[in-house]
Amino acid sequence: MAVQSDGPAEEIKRLRRCINDLVSVLALPATWTGSDPSRIVGDLLGALLNMLSLDFVYARVRDLEGTDLELVRTATEWKPKPGAQAIGEMVRPWLRIDAQDFPHPVRVTLEGREMSVVPLQLGVQGETGIVIAGSSRADFPQQTEKLVLSVAANQAAVGLQASNLLSAQRRVASRLDQHVVQRTAELGATNEELRKEIAERKSVEKRLGQEETELKHSEAHKAAILDSSLDCIVAMDHEGSITEFNPAAERTFGYSKQDVIGKHLADVIIPPWRREQHRSGFARYLATGKSRVLGRRIEMTALCADGREIPIEIAITRIPQDGPPSFTGYLRDITERKRNEDALLETHAKLARSEERWRSVFENSAIGVALTDLNGRFIAANPLFQKMLGYTEEELKQLSFIDITVEEDRNLNWMLINELLEGKRRQFRIEKQYRRKNGSTVWVRNSVSVVPGTERSPGFLMALSEDVTERRLAEEALNETRSELALMARVTTLSTLTASIAHEVNQPLSGIVTNASTCLRMLDADPPNLEGARETARRTIRDGNRASEVVARLRALFSKKNATFEMFDFNEAVKEVAALSVSELQRNRVILQSELAVDLPSVLGDRIQIQQVILNLIRNGSDAMSIVDDRSRDLLIKTECDENSGVRLSVKDSGVGIDSEVEKKLFQAFYTTKSDGMGIGLSVSRSIVERHQGRLWAIRNEGPGATFIFSIPCSTNT
C-alpha cells in the first residue's frame, strides 16, 4: 500500500469524510431492526459501494440453518456486470483460509480489470459470512477506508446475528404457537363432544318429563271422561267383577260406585232371568275366545237398584292388554228412545197412509192432474193426463206446458200464469188446445193454481185439466147446425112462400090472360070494339106490372144473407110483410087486421131479418087457427112503442092457444105441433130478435088463442 502524500487540507477532508462514513455505518443497525438478512446485507453493500466508491462489493452470509446467501453490488458504470457467482468462484479458495492469513489487499483481475480486493470477515471467526470489497483505484484501500470497512463488517455481523436470533426466536414462537393452536383445537373438539352429550342427556330427560306429564294428563283426562260421560261405563275383569262404575252408571242404575266395585256384574245389573245366559256366554268366551256380544251394539234388558227393568243399548269391548282379559261396557238407557221410535213409527205409518191416499187420488182422479215447477216444466202428471196427451210422465218432465200448448193459445196462457205468479189472482181457468204427442189437438178446460212452497220444498203450479173436446165439438156442431137451421128456415120460408109467390103472381097472370083474350075477341068483332080493346089492353099492362112488383119484392126479401143493420121504418116493414101474406091468409080464411102505432120511431136493425120474424109469427098464428071452425080466424098485428124506448110487435091469433106443456118447448129448435112443419121458425126468430138485443115471447090470451110478441130497441148499444 502506497502512502499518500497529501497536504493537511486533503488529510482533513479525508478524515472528515471518514468520520461521516463511520457515523453512517454506525447508524445502519438501527435501520436493520427486524429486517431479514438479505436486506441487511443489501443495505450494507449499497452503503459501502457508495461511501467508498468501490467497483464492486460482494457478500456471502450464512444463516443458522446453514443456508448461504450471496449478494453483489457493482458500480453502475461497470458493464457488463460480473455476476455474484463469478465473484463467488473467485473468492471460494479464500474462504478456507484463516482470516489472519488473508493477504490483504489482494490484487486480482476480474473481468479484465485489475483491482484491489479487501476481504472482510463477518463474525468473530467468519462464521457469519464474508464481505469482499474491490476497487480498481490505485490508492485502495486507504487507512480510513479500511477502518470503515472493518466497522461496517462488524456492524453487519452484529445486525446479522441479531436477525438470526430474531428469526430463530420467531421460529420457536411459531412452533409453540402451532402447538398451542393444535392443542386448543383438540381441546375444543373434546369440548364439543362433551357438550353434545350433555345436550342429548338433557333432551332425553325433558322427553321423559313430558311423557310423565302427558301420562298424568291422560290419566286425569280419562277420569274426566268417565266421570262426565252421559253414557254408562262399566268395566269388568276376567272374573266378571266390576272394576269401574262411572257416575252415569251410578245414576242410571241407582248404585254408588263403592257399592258395586268388586261385585259380580251379573248379580248387579243383569236381570235374574238372563244371568245364566250371561254366565255361560262369558265362560264360553273365556274358553274359546268366541262371543256373540263382544264388539257390537246390542239391545238388552238391565236391572236397576229399585228392581225396575229398563231397555238398554250396550257395546262391550275387550281391553287390549297383556295378561287376563278385562272388559268395558258402554251402555245407555234407551227407554225414551224406544218410546220415541214407536211414536215415530206410528207417525210414519200415518204419513204413509195419507201419502197413499193422496197418491191414489192423484192416480185415479177422473180429471187430469199435472204439476209443474214455477217455470212451467212438468214435475208430475197423473195417468189420465198422460193418456190425454199421449206422453208418458217421463216424457212430460222434459217439456213445459207451453211446449204442448198450441201456438195461438200461448200468449193468453203466459199472461194468466204471470198474473198468478205475481199474486194478482189466486187461480185461473182457460180453455185451450194442447197438441198431443201424435200431433193431433185436444180441447181442454184447465183450472190452474199456485201451490206455495215451504222451507223444505219449492212451490209449484197445479193444473186440473178436463178434456172438453167433445163438448166443444158439439158446440161447434151446434153452431153449425144453427147456421144450417137458419139457412133452412130461410129456405123453408122461401118454399112456403114460393107457393105464396106462385099464388101472388097467378092472380095478375089470370087477369092478363083473360084481358088479353078479351082484347083479341073485341078486335075480331065486326065492327071491332076498339074502346073495349084499349081498356082490356091497359088492364093487361097494369097486371103485368103488378106481377113483376110482387116478384121483385119477394126477391128482395131473400137476397140478403148477412145481417146488415140500418135504420128503417118499422111500420112500413110490417105493412110489406102483411101485404105479402094476404093471399096465404085469405086462403086459410084468416082475417088479418093491423093496428100500427103512429109516430113509431125508426129502428136500427136488419129489415129483412125482422120481416122474416114477422112473417114467421104471422104464419104460425095462421096455422094455429087452421083447425078452428066454430069462430072466426082473427089475426091481429099490432105495433106500438115499447116502454124501453123500442118498438114492439104483437101477433095475436084466435087459435088453439098454448098449453103449459107446449109453452116450455115452444122456442126450442125442432119443436113443432105441425105434422108437416120443421119446427125451426120460432127458434130462429128468437135468435134474430136476440141478435137485435130484443126479446121474443108468447102469452096466452084471455080469450082463445095466443099472442106472440117481440120487442127490439130503437138503437142497439154495442
Partner 1 sequence: MKSPDGSSTIRRPLVAIVDDDESVRESLPDLLGEFGFEARVFPSAQEFLVSDSLGLTKCLVLDIAMPGMTGFDLQQELKLRGNKIPIVFMTAQKDESVRKRALERGAVGFLLKPFSDTALLGALNTALGLG
Q: Which is nearer to partner 1, 415 or 520 (CB)?
A: 520
Q: Which is nearer to partner 1, 77 or 630 (CB)?
A: 630
Terminal CA-to-CA distance of the chain, rounded, Å?
175
Q: Which of 517, 548, 644, 645 binds partner 1 (CB under 8 A)?
A: 517
Q: Which of 502, 552, 579, 699 binds partner 1 (CB under 8 A)?
A: 502
Q: Which of 31, 510, 548, 645 binds partner 1 (CB under 8 A)?
A: 510
Given the rule CB under 8 A, which of 279-287, 519-527, 565-573, 684-692 is the region that contacts partner 1?
519-527
Binding of partner 1 by 496 (CB under 8 A): no
Binding of partner 1 by 515 (CB under 8 A): yes
Under 8 Å between Cβ of 669 and 680: yes
Q: For residues 401 and 434, what is the distance between their CA atoms, to the nearest angstrom?
A: 9
Q: Which is nearer to partner 1, 535 or 576 (CB)?
A: 535
Q: How far is CA 180 from CA 173, 175, 188, in A?
A: 10, 8, 12
Q: Which is nearer to partner 1, 546 or 695 (CB)?
A: 546
Phi, psi of 63 (to 5 degrees): -95, -175
Q: Which of 176, 513, 552, 556 binds partner 1 (CB under 8 A)?
A: 513
* Least distance to partner 1, CB of residue 654, Å: 14
Nearest to 686 by CA among 706, 662, 669, 663: 669
Q: Which of 525, 556, 567, 699 binds partner 1 (CB under 8 A)?
A: 525
Question: Strand 706-713 to strand 646-653: parallel, antiparallel, or no bridges (unpaired)?
Answer: antiparallel
* Least distance to partner 1, CB of residue 445, Å: 54
Q: For residues 186 and 188, what is the distance between their CA atoms, to the nearest angstrom?
A: 5
Binding of partner 1 by 302 (CB under 8 A): no
Cα angle value 465/471/476 (rounded, 5°): 130
Q: Residue 390: CA atoms inside 13 Å, Cβ hemisphere, count?
A: 10
Range 526-555, binding partner 1 (CB under 8 A):
532, 535-536, 539, 543, 546
* Least distance to partner 1, CB of residue 512, Å: 7
Given the rule CB under 8 A, which of 144-152, 371-379, 454-462, 507-515 is the region that contacts partner 1?
507-515
Given the rule CB under 8 A, which of 161-169, 172-180, 266-274, 518-526 is the region that contacts partner 1?
518-526
Phi, psi of 117 (to 5 degrees): -120, 140
Quick one: 10 exposed, middle or buried, by C-beta within 10 A (0-12, 13-18, 19+)? exposed
Q: For residues 626 and 655, what is the distance between their CA atoms, to the nearest angstrom?
A: 8
Given the rule CB under 8 A, which of 264-272, 511-519, 662-670, 710-718 is the region that contacts partner 1?
511-519
Cross-strand pairs, 317? 328
Q: Which of 87, 232, 512, 615 binds partner 1 (CB under 8 A)?
A: 512
Residues 6+ apart with CB under 8 A from 430: 409, 412, 413, 416, 445, 446, 448
Cell numbers placing 480: 153449425
* Least distance to partner 1, CB of residue 621, Å: 15
Q: Which is nearer to partner 1, 267 or 535 (CB)?
A: 535
Cell numbers placing 384: 189420465
Under 8 Å between Cβ of 318 and 325: yes
Q: Where are the beta strands (DSSP E) in 211-358?
A: 232-236, 242-245, 297-303, 309-318, 327-333
* Least distance to partner 1, CB of residue 508, Å: 6
* Least distance to partner 1, CB of residue 529, Å: 9
Given the rule CB under 8 A, which of 200-208, 416-424, 498-506, 613-621 is the region that contacts partner 1?
498-506
Binding of partner 1 by 506 (CB under 8 A): yes
Q: Which is nearer to partner 1, 141 or 508 (CB)?
A: 508
Q: For residues 497 and 55, what is the distance between their CA atoms, to the nearest angstrom?
A: 183
Range 584-643, binding partner 1 (CB under 8 A):
585-587, 589-591, 632
Phi, psi of 527 (to 5 degrees): -80, 160
Binding of partner 1 by 507 (CB under 8 A): yes
What is the number of other CB atoms lying within 10 angstroms of the CB of residue 420? 18
Q: Which is nearer to partner 1, 440 or 506 (CB)?
A: 506
Q: For residues 59 and 133, what is the distance between their CA atoms, to the nearest angstrom?
A: 9
Q: Which is nearer to partner 1, 265 or 635 (CB)?
A: 635
Binding of partner 1 by 467 (CB under 8 A): no
Catalog residues that contact partner 1 under the rule CB under 8 A.
502-503, 506-515, 517-518, 521-522, 525, 532, 535-536, 539, 543, 546, 585-587, 589-591, 632
